[in-house]
C-alpha cells in the first residue's frame, strides 16, 4: 500500500512538472526523483522517465506495440536502466527534449521483442535481451553495445557504431560511416574475423588475452586489410573496404608468431587502441623457427608493422619485449597517443621507406604522448627510442617526425650514416 501511494505521488509530481516544464523554478533536479520505480503500466514508465528516475522496471508484460520517449531529465553522465518485457510486441525508443537536465546513457533490457527501434541520435545505448525481428539503431557518436546476453535476428544501423558482444544472426543495411565491431576471444577467431571482406566487418574487440601460435608462414598472423593491395605499386595507397577499421584491444594482450610481425596494418585510417603486444616464450620460439623456402629465419618478430597506410592512429598501445622493433612505420603516416614501447631489442619506433620505392609514400610519425623507454647502450648504438633508416628513402629528407611532448633532438648513428636516431634532450 505504501509503495502504491509513493508512486502515485511521484506520478503527480511528473504531471506537475510536465505542465510547467518551461518554468525556471521547475528544474528537474528540484523534484528529487526516487532511485528506482517498479511500474505496472507503460504510462507509469513514461511518467518515471519524465521525472528522471534512473532505474525503471515494467513489471507487467506489454499488451501492445509501445513507444517511449527518453527525455533530457537526467543528471550529466547518468545511466538509465530500463527493463521492458516485450512479450512478442514491438518497442520504439525515441529521444526527447524540453527538460532542463541531460540525456542519460541508456541500459535497455527488452525480452522477446518482435522488433526494436532505438532512435536516440545523441545517446549511447547498452542492449541486452532478445529481438526476434529487426533491431534498428540510431545512436550517438559513441556506440550501441549489444551485450553478451543480447540476441538479435537482424541488425540495421542508421547512425552510430555498434559493438557486438552478443549474437546477431543477420546484418541488414549499415549506414555509411557506421561501423560494426565484433567480439573475439581466440587467435583463430581473430584471424577469421580480420579476413572477412563484408559490410559488417569494420572492427574487432577482444574479450580475452590471445596467445595462440596461428601460423609462421605469413608476414604476420593478424593482418588488418589486404597486404597484396599494398605490394602492387599501382594500388599501394588506394582506399579499400578495410579503411577506418577499429582494432580495440579492450585492455587485453595479443601475441603470435609470423615471419615479420605480430600485427600488420595495411589499410588507411585504421585505429588500434587499448592493446598490448607481448609475445610469450612459445610464440618467440615459433617466430625464430619460421621457415621460408627451406631456410630458418631465426630473427624474431616486430610488434606492429604499418605498411603503406595513411592516417593510422595508435591510442593507448603498448609493445613490450619483442626481439626486433616495437613499431615499424613503413611508408605510412601514423599518429600515436599514449604509446608505450619497452624492452624491444632493436628499439621502440622504426621509420622506413620499406624495401622498395615508396610511390609517394613518405613516412610521417606524430608522437603526441607516451613513453618510448628503450635506452641505448651509452655509445649511441641502440636500441633507440626512435630511428629512421635513411637509405630506404628516396632522399634522406623524405620523412617527417613531429613531437607534441617533450624536447627531442637527433643525430646520425656514429657507426652507420644511413640511420638517424632521436632522443629527448636531457
Q: Render pLDDT for 279-295 as a digit per residue (tens, 0 to 9).
A: 999 999 888 887 766 66
pLDDT of residue 357: 60
Query: What is the residue whose three cell numbers read 550517438?
Result: 140
Q: What is the rounded average pLDDT of the residues 18-39?
A: 59
Alpha helix (H) residue ranges in 247-388: 281-288
List the beta bridge partners of residue 400: 364
Average pLDDT on 193-200 reads 89
Does residue 296 have a pLDDT over 90?
A: no
What are the cell numbers at 408? 627531442
Give the residue with greater pLDDT, 216 vs 19.
Answer: 216
Predicted confidence (pLDDT) at residue 355 exceeds the cutoff of 60 = yes
Give 114's contacts (C-beta < 8 A, 6+ positions apart): 65, 86, 88, 89, 90, 131, 132, 133
Q: What is the predicted pLDDT for the residue at 181?
A: 97
Can you tell me the distance from the alpha carbon of 371 to that of 29, in angstroms, rounded to the nearest whole number? 44
Amino acid at each position: 500500500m505504501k509503495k502504491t501511494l509513493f508512486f502515485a505521488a511521484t506520478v503527480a509530481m511528473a504531471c506537475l512538472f510536465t505542465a510547467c516544464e518551461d518554468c525556471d523554478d521547475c528544474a528537474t533536479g528540484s523534484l528529487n526523483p526516487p532511485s528506482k520505480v517498479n511500474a505496472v503500466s507503460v504510462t507509469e514508465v513514461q511518467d518515471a522517465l519524465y521525472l528522471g528516475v534512473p532505474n525503471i522496471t515494467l513489471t507487467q508484460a506489454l499488451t501492445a506495440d509501445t513507444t517511449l520517449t527518453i527525455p533530457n531529465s537526467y543528471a550529466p553522465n547518468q545511466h538509465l536502466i530500463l527493463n521492458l518485457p516485450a512479450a512478442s510486441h514491438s518497442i520504439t525508443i525515441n529521444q526527447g527534449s524540453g527538460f532542463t537536465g541531460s540525456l542519460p546513457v541508456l541500459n535497455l533490457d527488452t525480452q522477446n521483442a518482435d522488433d526494436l527501434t532505438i532512435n536516440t541520435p545523441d545517446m549511447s545505448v547498452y542492449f541486452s535481451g532478445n529481438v526476434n525481428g529487426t533491431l534498428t539503431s540510431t545512436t550517438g557518436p559513441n556506440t550501441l553495445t549489444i551485450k553478451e546476453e543480447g540476441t538479435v535476428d537482424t541488425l540495421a544501423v542508421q547512425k552510430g557504431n555498434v559493438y557486438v558482444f552478443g549474437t546477431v544472426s543477420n546484418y541488414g543495411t549499415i549506414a555509411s560511416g557506421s561501423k560494426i565491431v565484433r567480439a573475439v576471444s581466440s587467435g583463430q577467431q581473430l584471424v577469421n574475423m580480420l579476413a572477412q571482406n563484408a559490410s559488417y566487418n569494420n572492427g574487432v574487440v577482444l574479450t580475452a588475452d590471445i596467445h595462440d601460435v596461428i601460423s609462421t608462414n605469413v608476414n604476420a598472423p593478424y593482418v588488418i586489410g589486404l597486404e597484396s593491395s599494398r605490394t602492387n605499386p599501382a594500388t599501394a595507397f588506394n582506399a579499400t573496404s578495410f579503411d577506418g577499421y577499429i582494432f580495440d584491444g579492450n585492455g587485453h594482450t595479443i601475441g603470435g608468431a609470423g615471419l615479420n610481425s605480430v600485427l600488420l596494418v595495411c589499410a588507411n585510417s585504421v585505429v588500434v587502441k587499448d592493446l598490448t603486444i607481448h609475445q610469450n616464450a612459445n610464440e618467440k620460439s615459433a617466430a625464430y623457427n619460421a621457415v621460408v623456402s627451406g631456410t630458418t629465419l631465426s630473427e624474431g618478430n616486430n610488434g606492429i608493422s604499418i605498411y603503406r597506410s595513411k592516417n593510422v592512429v595508435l591510442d593507448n598501445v603498448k609493445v613490450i619485449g619483442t626481439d626486433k622493433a616495437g613499431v615499424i612505420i613503413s611508408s605510412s603516416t601514423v599518429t600515436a597517443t599514449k604509446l608505450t614501447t619497452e624492452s624491444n631489442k632493436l628499439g621502440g619506433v622504426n621509420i622506413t621507406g620499406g624495401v622498395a620505392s615508396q610511390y609517394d609514400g613518405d613516412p610521417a610519425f606524430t608522437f603526441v604522448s607516451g613513453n618510448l623507454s628503450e635506452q641505448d647502450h651509452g655509445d649511441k648504438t641502440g636500441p633507440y627510442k626512435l630511428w629512421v633508416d635513411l637509405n630506404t628513402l628516396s632522399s634522406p629528407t623524405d620523412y617527417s617526425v613531429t613531437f607534441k611532448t617533450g624536447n627531442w633532438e637527433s643525430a646520425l648513428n656514429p657507426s652507420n650514416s644511413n640511420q638517424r636516431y632521436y632522443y629527448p634532450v636531457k
